[in-house]
Amino acid sequence: MNIIKDTQSNFITKIIDDDNHTKKWDERVHTRFPPEPNGYLHIGHAKSICLNFGIAQKYGGKCNLRFDDTNPLKEEDEYVKSIIDDVKWLGFHWEDEPLYASNYFEQMFDYAIELINQGNAYVCDLKSDEVKDQRGTLKNPGIESPFRNRSISENLELFKKMRAGDFLDGEKTLRAKIDMQHANLNMRDPVMYRILHAKHHRTGSKWCIYPMYDWAHGLEDSIEKITHSICTLEFEDHRPLYDWYLNSLEVYHPQQIEFARLNLNYTIMSKRKLKRLVDEGHVDGWSDPRMPTISGLKRRGYTPKSIKHFSDEIGVTKRDTVVDVAKLENALREDLNKRAPRVMGVLDPIKVVITNYPEGEIETLDAKNNPEDESAGTRKISFSKEIFIERNDFMEDPPKKYFRLSLGKEVRLKFAYYITCTEVIKNENGEISEIHCTYDPKTKGGMSDDGRKVRGTLHWVSASEYIEADIRLYDRLFKSQNPEASGDFVDDLNPDSLKLIKNAKLETCLSNAESKSIYQFERTGYFVLDSKDSSENNLIFNRAVSLRDSWAKLNR
């Protein structure tokens, strides 16, 4: 079998290599990505997508996209669509139509009948809190249900009545008959089916009993002939139950392998908790650029390549760790630095008047689109007597080693000329309203032929030709590395996670920006046109990431 050599090896691929060597699966590799459609996927799911689809690609195998839709109370078609879009956006594809646990409800029911006929399952009348109370603890054994020894015929009759809708929600469950004294709590007669009179997003009202995840999981893998069922570590203690169900039924038996889930600092990695942020209005929906959802990262300006690179960088392990979110940000910088076109944008503009520049003249200059990629070529930018620079690029009384503009000091305007500040104009409140400078016409292109050195280089935008746009500067959604460390994670929300800047001055080329195009604003960061709120008459750019990590310095 041909193996793609540029895919990283890890303990899972070593297991697969050993399986292929022994011909355990006849060198067939078949994985699956099985999300529950109860929310939008986040960066942790992206790691699992990259792992499962990546392994299938590495070994020339197959990966199923399968929805674990066994809980009609929380699942919606909106989530199904978003998951399909996210997987495709990351660049992965599956051979057939997406699969669903609900495809197999009839087969699962038949398998449950088989377990009852074996004497390995029974209908229990205990309420959910009673089942929980009688489960026992790690130190104390569980208590057997008084309904555990019902006859096979009675269990069959009751289970069929459960399916027929003869009982109320929670009135009865079907439980596996294993061992209430087992050291693993998951093996203490777990519930297989519960009654839910709820409309399912695919099957409607056909069913009123729904399988529990542990019962459905192994059967789905078995029916689809999965070879390697790759799960996160929280399912390690559930593996004996996975094996027990499949062994008891004597059906095709995949191998479950567990790996450590992704944990990021300054981030919440739970769909349930992310949904709370959405429901309570703390964020602008699931696709808010501050959210760790794939749709949020996409809207913010993250690329599939950066997320795949991040997944490769952090690797696959058996030990839970917390990854610094800066690694994710750096993965994006590495990708964009090589290919993002450069433009100039002034976010907090102040006007500079070049007093010795010819009145009414507009000059066209050449600017490199990307110094990291010569093939990106150049663009034309306009220069005139009046320009805008960043307000914080000027100081009246600068400290030592200040290399930007101040009275009597010379700086370089990128792609243009050297200028020297000669005067500051203030308004009636004593605030600087305008800066006057002179320019050296012999320094066109930002270079001097007399050997003098200028330490400061400023970006700028011509006041004669520019467009205006609103800018959203995003920061980390939470203040603390572990938002849940001191209580409710909502209390740790960062009030400065979004800063809105109105009427920034940008190069005119950005009037034709597309939502998928990402630009580096010189000296400021990487920006993308907002895919949701931006319009032709109201351009809005999101900062995907700054040029360098400033958070570490601010929070030392």
Q: Known catalytic residues?
A: 36, 261, 271
d(CA 473, CA 542): 6
Among residues 11, 35, 29, 43, the alpha carbon closest in space to that of 300 is found at 43
d(CA 458, CA 255): 59
d(CA 323, CA 539): 35
CB 442 within 8 A of CB 448: yes
Sign of CA dihedral 84, 90, 91, 95: negative
d(CA 386, CA 367): 19
Write phi, then psi, for 417 (nearest 5 degrees): -140, 170
The radius of gyration of the chain's CA atoms, rounded to the nearest angstrom, is 31
CA angle, 114 as apex, 133 and 193 as ends, to 5°?
Answer: 35
DSSP-assigned beta bridge partners for residue 124: 173
CA angle, 43 as apex, 40 and 44 as ends, to 5°?
Answer: 95
> Count of residues for the chain?
556
H-helix or E-strand containing 417?
none
Q: Token digits for 283?
A: 């964020």
CB 549 within 8 A of CB 323: no
Number of separate helices (H) and strands (E) present in the chain: 13, 25
DSSP-assigned beta bridge partners for residue 193: 174, 211
d(CA 552, CA 538): 34
